[in-house]
Amino acid sequence: MSTIPATQQAWIEERRGPPAQSLRLRTDWPVPSDLQPGEVLIKVQAAAMNPGGYKMMKLLPNFARGRPLPAEMELSGVVVDGNGTEYSDGDQVFGFVTPELAKARKQGALCQYVRLPTSLILPRPPSVTPLEAAGICAVSITSYHALVELAQLEAGQTVLVYGGSSSVGIAAIQIAKALGAKVVASASGKNEAFVRGQGADEFIDYTKQPIHEYLKANPPSPKFHAIVDAIGLMDPSLYTSSPAYLAPNGIFISAGDLPSMSQLWHFCKLLAAIVWPRWLGGTPRKWRLIRPTLGHMGDVQALVAKGSLKLPIDSVYDFEDVLSAYDRVVTGRATGKVVVKIDPTI
């Protein structure tokens, strides 16, 4: 067994604010030593970034986020203390830290050692590298929940993935194809080849014309069974116009997002559109927010092992260069996961 140090390097969220103000690279952060039954200790190899990470950093006050704590949630690594669970020292795994666990146990991904319950990790198949594995979990269980549990998507049905070049969108395209569905996906024109490469059968460039207007003028036949908004749109138009292109028993599913100050008006209009009763002229289509559940970890693992699910990497940054990784995520233009290499030997 490798020697486990008492302290580690970790990017700690110390206060509310943008990453450059909130984060500090600490060298004295304690390595967890008080594992509870069912928890393992993992030496982190790579961490993957999510837009939710920097948005929570900017918006949530310290008490709501549980600061100080290591930033980010998705990771890959090696088990260094199996703690009597089904995992042994040396097992290669990937997984994620839920916001609840992060707050309660002060855990995160941008550090060298993390303690996690076995319900939040999966064995890493050898076909996937540690850098690739780091970014699989959160977006994949998110998209799996949307397509399988909420939409109950079946082979032969058609789904629209709005935001097909986002990580949630990429996972949604690949999972929908694995289910045998037809996929229409949107992104900006520069990403058409990339989105088709993920498996999309048809492509719509949302920068040429508002997509709800395009779909009203060119409705699919039959209408979509489901629409997955993989961006978390604040503008309600794609939803409120959906009777023109979403089947009457279809469902509109949103990845959700935290509104900025400038989006508050759109956000209020979206909320009104969702709650307004149909008998008062509300949109006669179901709207649901994605709420990923851990019950789908095994399903995601099976798809990854079969080669049906693979998240492309947008870019890789060194551990010392985390602020540049945030700069990339903040652009909102990444195609695939932004990954931080934590173990320089991988």
Ligand X SMILES: NC(=O)c1ccc[n+]([C@@H]2O[C@H](COP(=O)([O-])OP(=O)(O)OC[C@H]3O[C@@H](n4cnc5c(N)ncnc54)[C@H](OP(=O)(O)O)[C@@H]3O)[C@@H](O)[C@H]2O)c1
Which residues make up the interface to ligand X (CB under 6 A)? Answer: 50-52, 138-139, 142, 163, 165-168, 187-188, 191, 206, 230-232, 255-257, 290, 292, 329, 332-335
Q: Kindly tell me which of 50 and 112 has the beta carbon lying closer to ligand X.
A: 50
Q: Residue with structure tokens 């319900």?
A: 119
CA distances for 226 relative to 205, 209, 221, 261, angstroms:
19, 21, 13, 30
Q: Kindly tell me which of 29 and 144 has the beta carbon lying closer to ligand X.
A: 144
Q: Kindly tell me which of 9 and 165 has the beta carbon lying closer to ligand X.
A: 165
CB 184 within 8 A of CB 155: no
How near is the Cβ of 189 to ligand X at its closest, in Å? 8
Bridge partners, 76 (sequence order): 46, 94
How near is the Cβ of 253 to ligand X at its closest, in Å? 10
How near is the Cβ of 339 to ligand X at its closest, in Å? 12
How near is the Cβ of 113 to ligand X at its closest, in Å? 24
Q: What is the layout of strands, in order, in the sheet containing 286-289?
A: 202-205, 182-187, 158-162, 224-229, 246-254, 286-289
Sign of CA dihedral 163, 168, 170, 171: negative
How near is the Cβ of 274 to ligand X at its closest, in Å? 15
C-alpha span between 238 and 108 (Å, rounded): 35
Q: Kindly tell me which of 50 and 158 has the beta carbon lying closer to ligand X.
A: 50
Structure-block tokens of residue 208:
């040429």
Q: Kindly tell me which of 107 and 166 has the beta carbon lying closer to ligand X.
A: 166
Q: Kindly tell me which of 9 and 242 has the beta carbon lying closer to ligand X.
A: 242
| Coil vs helix vs strand at 218 | coil
Sign of CA dihedral 284, 290, 291, 292: positive
How near is the Cβ of 268 to ligand X at its closest, in Å? 18
CB 25 within 8 A of CB 11: yes
